[in-house]
Structure 1
Amino acid sequence: MKDYINSIYKNHSQFYKILLFVVTTLLIVFIFPKSGRFKYKNFEKGKLWQTENLYAPFNFAIKKSNAELDKEKALIESQTTHFFNKNEEVEAKVKFDYEQSFNTVFKDTLKNYNDLKTKGLSILNELYQYGILNEDLNLNEDDKVVILVDNVEKKTTKFSNLQKLGTIKIKIEKELQSTYLERYSNSLTTLFFDIIKSDLNYNKQLTENVLKEALDKISQNRGVVDKGTLIISKGEVVNDEKYQILTSLSKEYESQVWSKSNYNWIVLAYTVLVALALLMLLLFIRKYRLDVYKNNTKVTFIFFNILVIVLLTSLVVNYNSEYVYLVPIAILPLVLKAFFDARLGLFTHVITVLLLGSIVPNSYEYMFLQIIAGIVTILTISELYKRANLFISVGQITLVYIIAYFAFFVIHEASIDNLKWETFGLFVLCGLATLFVQPLIYIYEKLFGLVSDVSLLELSDTNSKLLKELSNKAPGTFHHSLNVANLAEASANEINANAMLVRVGALYHDIGKMKSPTYFTENQSSGLNSHDELSPKESAKIIINHVIDGIEIAKKNNLPDRVVDFIRTHHGTSQVYYFYMKEKANNEDVDINDFTYPGPKPFSKETAILMMCDSVEAASKSLKEPTSSKIDNFVENIINKQKDDGQFLNANITFKEIESIKKVLKRKLANIYHLRIEYPE
């Protein structure tokens, strides 16, 4: 049991990665839409069917196209019936008022009294035959109208037969025109306007309900394809009819009704795909970024970012897939490059895009655009801490999106007549959203304890609290660190290493000397050597301990691990050779381990650069009457000894890069000592 527990403890890091892998896979599958996907998704109208003959895998209905449905809806809307409620009491009241008012307006002694009264009553009957509207309605003259009395259908007619209050005067003039009663037209009109009231009210709710009922009866289908029926043959043109059948089959695959019976299979398939993709990423990290793989926080950080991008994209796809290009996926390689390197950032970006390709429409177009955008992101961003670089890179990413999308659109449509300009707006908004990477990097630094170039820039400030303390307690060490930082930065630029990181590492690599500054020669200004009172073994212990002390001080001041690595490795497993030889002169039986730094050896280009520059700069103080040849031999001897001792075996630095660093150091030291050409006498 004890051995089992010990085994678990020793392999807890591996167990954590397995758990992280499983949880991330399940979360991504949970986020993904669970519908089936038609494998021939990218068919186009008017193009040849390039794949094998396609037979109906099951019975399915042929869906009507949007144009067909719109046409049917327009027809029903044009034939809709409009309902009006009629109040019959109004007509009776108006006729009663007519009898009373007519006798007041026209005297019974009038010659044509009876004829005029009869004519007026006849006009009233015509006006109220179907009724008079109380409002102006924007209906067609031929629209069907049903008149209801007490919610019972009374009459059916056309809208043109309904009377409007504004046309009463015209109606009277028309009836009396060219008759002997024409001269009474104005008086009769005035009378009518005093007594006439509308008796029709438009029943909008009933009209809309009837229309909705008719629209709901529209069938979404226009036929059925039986299982096993040949849908389209290889090489056949996808015409309108074939296109609609293929679209119907595609929708049937993705319909909720069909996918429920296959839900478990779909989930299993998604799980396999996602697991494969994440496994490839883990294997890549394990093989090419072992330091990242060993750090569970960094692996968690990478998986967390993939999960966030998948979540955002899935939410947008579920809401409206037309906005899928609004998701700033280029943030992913930007963030990973800021904390790790370009190669890991690009590989992770490609894996994420491949995952998303299974849920977005036009997957090939989407993956092409996003992978190209990721490559441009990696190639254009060199120094993220410089704000101008980020804006330039975002502009280039946006431009690449627009150009690539335009090319795809022309390929699909063979013209630009129907170009969707709003998609270009989505790309611009996506570019603006990518600028959020700066505050996002700061948030990630606080959450995951990582360090980016932006933080390195802040740490390189020599006015920081820790560096000021170093300059006060150990001014010689501080000056030495500045010189090493300049040499290391120039060397890093020469071989395309991280110059900002190596400069910061150089500034802090000797902070452990603050604990016992006078035991280091660069701080001995009085001419007294504190080591004279100690044995060589005690002196060596103090010298070696400055590495351990430096790590403690760095941890206490919350310096990032990437900076602490420089403190830990800048002497590797080399020896304090001076005190070793001094002890050996007095005692032949000497344990060399007492005079050896604990290591580890440098394990990156940057830490290897610091070891070389630190050794060369420190030893250069012992040069007497330096010349070009002396400096050249001096640099060669120091770095070759480190190389022969195997100090660079764990670092990914080549012989060619080491030779380039030698040249930089020789040139820089020559400038420091102001060497001139020696002319013959």
Structure 2
Amino acid sequence: MKSFVNYLFKNQDLFYKVFLFLLTTFLIVYLFPKGGKFKYEIPKGKPWQYENLYAPFDFAILKTSDELSAEKERINKEHIPYYEYNPEIAEQVKTDLERQFSEVLSDTLSRSVTLALKNFVEETSAEIYRNGLLQEIIPLDQDQIIYLKKGNEATEVSYGNILKQNQLRDFLNRKIDEARLQIFRDELIELFFNSVRPNVTYNESLTQNELESKYNQISYTRGNVERGTIIVAKGEVVEGNKLQVLNSLKAEYESQVWSQANYNWVIVGYSMLVFLALLMLMLFIRKYRYDIFQNNVKVTFIFFNLLLMVLLTVLVIRFNVNYVYVVPLCILPLTLKGFFDSRLGLFTHVITVLLLGFIVPDSYEYMFLQIIAGIVTILTVSELYKRANLFITVGQITMVYILSYFAFTVIQEGSIYEVEPETFLMFLLGGLATLFVQPLIYAYEKVFGLVSDMSLLELSDTNSKLLKELSDKAPGTFHHSLNVANLAEAAANEIGANSMLARVGALYHDIGKMRNPTYFTENQTTSVNSHDELSPRESAEIIIEHVINGIEIAKKRNLPDRVIDFIRTHHGTTTVYYFWKKEKEANKNANPEDFRYPGPIPFSKETAILMMCDSVEAASKSIKEPTSKIIDEFVEKIINKQMEEGQFLNSDITFMEIQMVKKVLKRKLKNIYHLRIEYPE
């Protein structure tokens, strides 16, 4: 039992990766839809490239969206709206008219005139409220038939037969003229306007419910295809009715209710494909980015981002599949390139797109657009910490989306008039969402403890607390670090490495010298050498210790691991040659391992560049009369010696790139020493 526990403890990193791998596979399969997948790509407007296709079962032909829209439009035109008649208002108005009659009209009128006026008011009121009075909001055609609802009964009435409130004055004037009561026109109009109120209102809820009921009665199919009927023959162009029949077959196939056995097999199939895709990603990381593979936090970060993109896409598809291109999938390669490198970013992006190809419509088109956009992202984005670069990259990504979509549409439709402008808006929204990568990277740095180029930009500030302390305690080392940083940045730019990382690593690589600054020649301001009183071995120990001290200081000041790597590797496993030679002269049996730096040797292009620049810059101070030839030989000698000792074997840097770094160092040193062309006498 104890041995088993020890085995688990020793291999806990491996077990964690297996758990992470299986958990990610499970979550992705869980998110995927569990229906069947139609096995044919439908080539709209192109010949059918497969064998003759026969109907595998009976299915109905779905109507096109245009046909359904036409039916809804017809229902809208034929639909009869509902209006509500309120009899209580009519009764209240009748009462108000009787009450105000004596107030508006004079009491001195004769009985016959008063009776005639009362009859007029009563008859006119009855006519106004025969079909009701409407305050018109949505005008209809006068011949439009409507339902006028009185209580529980609804009768058909011509819209023109209902009096509108804005027609009331003309109606009253006409009635007064017909009754020849013009002398009482003002009083009668005042009477009616004081009392009459609209009592007919548009019943929107009832009308809408009736309309929805008719919409629900629409048949979404037209005709049926029986099992065994040929749907499309090989070489036949897929368009018109053939296209709609194929789309109907696909929809029916993917929406069928599966038996438990079939459902389980679908799960097994999805699990195998997702398992293989994620396995390829894991193997890629293990083979080509082994340093990342060994770091569980970084592996978790990569799988988390992949899962996040799948989750966002699935959620958008479930909400509305037309918005699938709003998902900023290019955030994935942008983020991974910002934290790691381009190759890993692109490979992870491709794996993610392949996984999403299972669930998106028009999977080939989707994968083509997303992979091309990912390639453009990797090729164009550089120095992400510069805001202008991010905007330019996002603009290029959006343009690639638009151009690719336009090309696909022209190929499929054979016309530019079928291009949907709404899709361009989706691409623009996706581009805007991609700009969220900067705050996202900041959040990732805090959560996962990683470092990006934006953090490196902050660390490159020479006014930072740690670099100011270095400047105060070891001014010579600080000046040396600045020179090395300039050389490393120029060399990294020359070979396409991360120049910001190389510069920051160079600025901090010698912070360990703050512990014993006077034991390093660049900080000695007098002729007294602290090493004169020490043995060569003791001196070598102090010199070597600056690497260990630097790592301790860096960890206490929370410098990122990517920067600490430069402190660890800037001397590799070389020897402190001066003191080793001095010890060997005194003791021929001296052990060279006592004078060797602990390593490791550089394991990236940037750390290899720092080793070259640090050695060349430090040793260049010993050149008494520099000439162009001397500098060339000097640079060649130092770097060739490092190559012979195998210091660059793990750094993934080529011979050609080393030669390019040499040229940069030679040119920079000549500029530092202000060398001019030697003219013949």
Q: TM-score range by the shorter chain?
A: 0.7 to 0.9
SS at match of 1:622: coil
Q: 1:232 to 1:127 in 2, by over 3 A?
A: farther
Structure 1 residues 287 and 186, CA gap change in structure 2 (3 angstroms): same
Q: Please give the alpha-carbon distance, in whole angstroms, between the structure 2 residues aligned to 1:340 and 1:183.
A: 95
Seen in structure 2, the aligned counterparts of structure 1 residues 139 and 679 have a Cα distance that, compared at 3 Å, is closer
Aligned to 2:131: 132
Cα distance in 2 between the residues matched to 1:191 and 1:507: 98
Distance 1:75 1:470, change over 3 A: closer
Q: Which residue of 2 aligns with 1:519?
A: 519
Partner of 1:287: 287
Determine which structure has more spread, i.e. the larger CA radius of gyration: 1
Runs (5+) with no aligned partner, structure 2 = 99-107
The alpha-carbon distance between structure 1 residues 256 and 316, as it changes in their structure 2 partners (threshold 3 A), is farther
Q: Counterpart amino acid of 2:592?
A: I
TM-aligned CA deviation for residue 413 of structure 1? 2.6
Aligned: 1:668 with 2:668: yes
CA contact (8 A) 1:81 1:143 kept: no
Deviation for aligned residue 1:170: 8.5
Amino acid across the alignment from 1:228 = G
Tell me what 2:407 maps to: 407
2: CA distance between counterparts of 1:655 and 1:88?
Answer: 99
The offset of 1:553, in angstroms, is 0.8
Counterpart for residue 555 of structure 2: 555
SS in 1 for 2:282: helix
CA contact (8 A) 2:333 2:349 kept: yes
Q: Is the 8 A contact 1:131 1:200 kept in 2?
A: no
Q: Given that residues 133 and 163 in structure 2 are in contact (C-alpha distance below 8 angstroms), is that contact kept between their aligned partners in structure 1? A: no
Q: Deviations over 1:383-419 (max 9, x none)?
A: 2222222222222222222222222222233223343
| Corresponding residue for residue 457 of structure 2 | 457
CA drift of 1:601 comes to 1.0
2:337: which partner in 1? 337
Residue 112 of structure 1: aligned partner: none
How far 1:599 sits from its partner (Å)? 0.8
Q: Distance in 2 between matches of 1:294 and 1:626?
A: 46
User: What letter matches 1:419 in structure 2?
Assistant: V
Which structure 2 residues correspond to residues 422-441 of structure 1 after superposition, within 5 A?
A: 422-441=422-441
Q: Give 1:613's aligned amino acid.
A: C
For residues 280 and 50 of structure 1, the distance between their equivalents in structure 2, rounded to whole angstroms, comes to 31
SS at structure 2 position matched to 1:231: strand
- Specify whether residues 105 and 32 from structure 1 end up closer, same or farther in structure 2 by C-alpha distance, changes over 3 A only: farther
The percentage of aligned residue pairs carrying the same residue is 62
Give the drift of 1:355: 1.8
Q: Is the Cα contact below 8 Å between 2:85 and 2:132 reproduced in 1?
A: no
Q: Letter of the aligned partner of 1:222 in structure 2?
A: R
Offset at residue 557 of structure 1 (A)? 0.9
Residue 184 of structure 1 and its aligned partner are, at CA, apart by 6.1
Instruction: Determine the structure 1 residue equivalent to 2:382.
Output: 382
Offset at residue 420 of structure 1 (A) = 2.3
Checking the alignment, whether the CA contact within 8 Å between 1:384 and 1:454 is kept in structure 2 is yes
CA distance in 2, matches of 1:409, 1:289: 39
Whether the 8 Å contact between 1:544 and 1:597 is mirrored in structure 2 is: yes
Q: Which residue of 1 aligns with 2:53?
A: 54
Which residue of structure 2 aligns with residue 634 of structure 1?
A: 634
Give me the TM-score of the superposition, normalised by structure 2: 0.84
In 2, Cα distance between equivalents of 1:299 and 1:5: 24
CA–CA separation in structure 2 for the residues paired with 1:494 and 1:249 = 58
**Correspondences of 1:316-331 after superposition (within 5 Å):** 316-331=316-331
Query: 2 CA distance for matches of 1:132 and 1:562?
Result: 85
Residue 260 and residue 200 in structure 1: after superposition, are their counterparts in 2 closer, same or farther (change >3 A)?
farther
Listed one character per residue, the Cα deviations across residues 349-400 of structure 1 (whole Å, up to 9, x for unaligned) are 2222222222222222222222222222222222222222222222222222
What pairs with 1:139-218 in structure 2 (closer than 5 Å)?
A: 151=152, 204=203, 212-218=212-218
Distance (Å, rounded) in 2 between the aligned partners of 1:86 and 1:475: 94
CA distance in 2, matches of 1:331, 1:662: 37
**Structure 1's 414 and 607: CA in aligned 2 closer, same or farther, altered over 3 A?**
same
Match of 1:15 in 2: 15
- Is the deviation greater in 312-321 or in 587-596? 587-596
State the AA in 1 paired with 2:594: D
Q: Which position in structure 2 is the counterpart of 1:598?
A: 598
Distance 2:604 2:27 in 1: 35
Give, as a single letter, the amino acid of the residue that structure 1 aligns with 2:271.
T
1:538 equivalent in alignment to 2:538: yes
Q: Which amino acid aligns with 1:601?
A: I
Equivalent AA in structure 1 for residue 324 of structure 2: V
Where 1:484 maps in the other structure, the secondary structure is: helix
Measure the CA separation in 1 of the matches of 2:441 and 2:307. Answer: 17
Which residue pairs with 1:250 in the alignment? 250
Q: Any conservation in 1 of the 2:21–2:278 contact (CA below 8 Å)? A: yes
CA RMSD of aligned residues (A): 4.1
Deviation, structure 1 residue 568: 0.7
Aligned-partner Cα distance in 1 for 2:426–2:47:
31
Distance 1:198 1:65, change over 3 A: farther
Distance 1:264 1:680 in 2: 88
Instruction: Tell me: CA distance 1:189–1:162, structure 2 relative to 1, closer, same or farther (3 Å).
Output: farther
Q: 1:260 to 1:623 in 2, by over 3 A?
A: same
Match of 1:113 in 2: none
Opposite residue 13 of structure 1, the aligned amino acid is: D
Contact 1:602 / 1:651 at 8 angstroms: preserved in 2? Answer: yes
> Aligned ranges for residues 445-594 of structure 1 at < 5 Å?
445-594=445-594
- Kindly tell me: are residues 211 and 188 of structure 1, through their superposed partners in 2, closer, same or farther at Cα, counting changes over 3 Å? farther
Is the CA contact 1:537–1:583 (under 8 Å) kept in the aligned structure 2?
yes
Residue identity opposite 1:229 in structure 2: T
Structure 1's 468 and 83: CA in aligned 2 closer, same or farther, altered over 3 A? closer
Residues 300-331 of structure 1 show CA distances to partners (whole Å, capped at 9, x for unaligned) of 11111112222222222221122222222222
Per-residue CA deviation, residues 481-509 of structure 1 (Å, 9 max, x unaligned), is 22222222222222222222122212211
Going from structure 1 to structure 2, the CA distance change for 1:150 and 1:549 (only over 3 Å counts) comes to: closer
8 A contact 1:131–1:199 mirrored in 2:
no
Structure 1 residue 551 displacement after superposition:
0.7
**Whole-Å separation in 2 of the counterparts to 1:584 and 1:394:** 61
CA deviation profile, 1:106-153 (whole Å, cap 9, x unmatched): 9999xxxxxx9xxx9xx99x979x953332775666666778876468
Q: Distance in 2 between matches of 1:542 and 1:461?
A: 29
Superposition TM-score, scaled by structure 1 size? 0.84
User: What SS does the corresponding residue of 1:40 show, helix, strand or coil?
Assistant: coil
Instruction: Pick closer, same or farther for the CA change 1:42–1:587 going to 2, 3 Å.
Output: same
Q: CA deviation at 1:42?
A: 3.7
In 2, the alpha carbon distance for the partners of 1:53 and 1:667 equals 70
Identify if the C-alpha distance between structure 1 residues 207 and 187 changes in structure 2 by more than 3 Å, giving closer, same or farther. farther
Change (3 A) 1:202 1:393: closer
**CA contact 1:36–1:259 (8 Å) conserved in 2:** no
Q: Is the 8 A contact 2:144 2:159 kept in 1?
A: yes
Could you tell me which amino acid in structure 2 is paired with residue 135 of structure 1?
A: L
Q: Report the more deviating stretch, 283-292 or 623-632.
A: 623-632
Segment of structure 1 superposing worse, 545-554 or 420-429: 420-429
1:86 and 1:131 in contact (8 A); partners too: no
Distance 2:530 2:269 in 1: 72
Paired with 2:254 and 2:168, the residues of 1 have a C-alpha distance of: 58
SS in 2 for 1:651: coil
How far apart, CA to CA, are the structure 2 residues paired with 1:614 and 1:410?
Answer: 57
Q: Return the alpha-carbon distance in structure 1 between the equivalents of residues 620 and 188 of structure 2.
A: 119
Query: Whole-Å Cα distance in 2 between the matches of residues 472 and 108 of structure 1?
Result: 118
- Give unpaired runs (5+ residues) of structure 1: 99-103, 110-115
Partner residue, 2:64: 65
State how far apart, in whole Å, the 2-side matches of 1:199 and 1:624 are: 107
What aligned pairs does 1:217-228 form with structure 2 within 5 A after superposition?
A: 217-228=217-228
